Structure 1
Amino acid sequence: FCHDKDFHVSPFNPIDQLYRWQVKVKQQPDNCLQVRIAIDISDERGEVLKTGIKMSGVPMTEATVRDSLRKNPLMNMTSLTRIYWHAFKLYAIKKVPYINYDEKLADSKQQQAANKKNSV
């Protein structure tokens, strides 16, 4: 399914983008689900980002949770570190402009209020 960007994900991507999603769910022989999610993001420049993830479920038991934490103890910290490292590289090194959606949203709300006031 497709939709225009109407939510804020990255302060480095403009709001006027198209999101194209593909979601596939497959039953595994062990009765668990395998889920594949792909997203293509495009705008007037063409394709901007193409990414996806494929996950297989396992029953959530004490043993599987304990095993996951043992195998991946720093996963959350590693993910956050990578997100902010890439944001730093985009902003400080590659000089990609930061887009402040809060200001755009506030301006938009002020314009809507002014339009309502003028039309009355």
Structure 2
Amino acid sequence: FKYRVRMLYLDLDDLKSVFAKRFFWSYDRLNLGCFLRKDYFGDQRDSVKKSIQNEIRKKLHFNHHGKIYLLTNPRYFGYCFNPVSFYYCFNTKNKLEVIISHITNTPWNENHAYIHDCRHIKEPMKTFKFGKDFHVSPFMPMNIRYEWSFREPGEELVVSMNNIHDKEFMFNASMKLQKKPLTKKSLNLLLLKFPPETFKTIFSIYWQALCLKIKGVTFFSHP
């Protein structure tokens, strides 16, 4: 199945200015469209950027300095759900050092971060192989391997996620986005899209789950 998606690619240093002085949008305040700190990674007492840098220090044992960009959906009409948000962390020379995939499941609303160290990968397409350790879909077992690939963001942004079970390909989820300017007009147009992106996302998840259930696909309970 295929869906058209629209996401925001946000500089974490500019969050307040992006949404400032926009009648229908706001930062950390409810509006038709808004960016609320509580919807994103880390301790809400810290900024999102500081939380990401703390996670890098904790897991990869180095101090990150530079820009961090967040690929996500904001809150539309009071509702926010992101199955995954991606944090692209660049150093001061604009080299991609780390990608963090922040996963949220439903209906449990649990979250988990996978950290991908890009520092020693020279190719534009960064590929990572690792084991699954967070329950997402009841139609996917826990004993699978992931092979995720990320193309460095430019005019296009590409993410491809393969699920491997018993050394055999099982499932792929891919996303290819085209870069568009972030302006007052483009933000307001997002509010006119129906259904709003976050509503469409959650509906699509449960619709596909229903289709799989009807087909009799094996169901795996939350561990």
Task: Give the number of equivalent residue pairs.
Answer: 95
Gaps of 5+ in 2: 1-127
Structure 1 residue runs of 4 or more that deviate by more than 4 Å after TM superposition: none
Q: What CA deviation, in whole Å up to 9, does each residue of 1:47-83 have, x standing for no partner?
A: 111221011333433221012222x231333332221
* Structure-1 residue corresponding to 2:95: none
* Structure-2 residue corresponding to 1:49: 171
Greater helix content: 1
Gaps of 5+ in 1: 29-33, 105-120
Identity, % of aligned pairs? Answer: 25
Identify if the C-alpha distance between structure 1 residues 26 and 85 changes in structure 2 by more than 3 Å, giving closer, same or farther.
closer
Q: What CA deviation, in whole Å up to 9, does each residue of 1:21-43 have, x standing for no partner?
A: 11002433xxxxx2100111111
Q: RMSD in angstroms over aligned alpha carbons?
A: 1.9
Instruction: Measure, in 2, the Cα distance between the counterparts of 1:27 and 1:89.
Output: 36
Decide which of 9, 14, 38 is 2:160's aligned counterpart.
38
Alignment of 1:99-110 (within 5 A): 99-101=220-222, 104=223
* Structure-1 residue corresponding to 2:70: none
Between the two structures, name the one with larger relative contact order (CA 8 Å, sep ≥ 6).
1
* Structure-1 residue corresponding to 2:144: 17
* Structure-2 residue corresponding to 1:8: 135
Greater strand content: 2
Q: What CA deviation, in whole Å up to 9, does each residue of 1:61-107 have, x standing for no partner?
A: 3221012222x23133333222112111212x122232122xx3xxx
Secondary structure at 1:27 match in 2: coil
Identify if the C-alpha distance between structure 1 residues 45 and 21 changes in structure 2 by more than 3 Å, giving closer, same or farther.
closer
Secondary structure at 2:194 match in 1: coil
Instruction: Measure, in 2, the Cα distance between the counterparts of 1:45 and 1:88.
Output: 27
Larger radius of gyration: 1
Secondary structure at 2:140 match in 1: coil
**Which one-letter code corresponds to 1:14 in the other structure?**
P
Name which of structure 1's ranges 82-91 and 35-44 shifts more when overlaid on structure 2: 82-91
1:95 aligns to 2:216 (yes or no)? yes
TM-score of the superposed pair, with normalisation by structure 2: 0.39
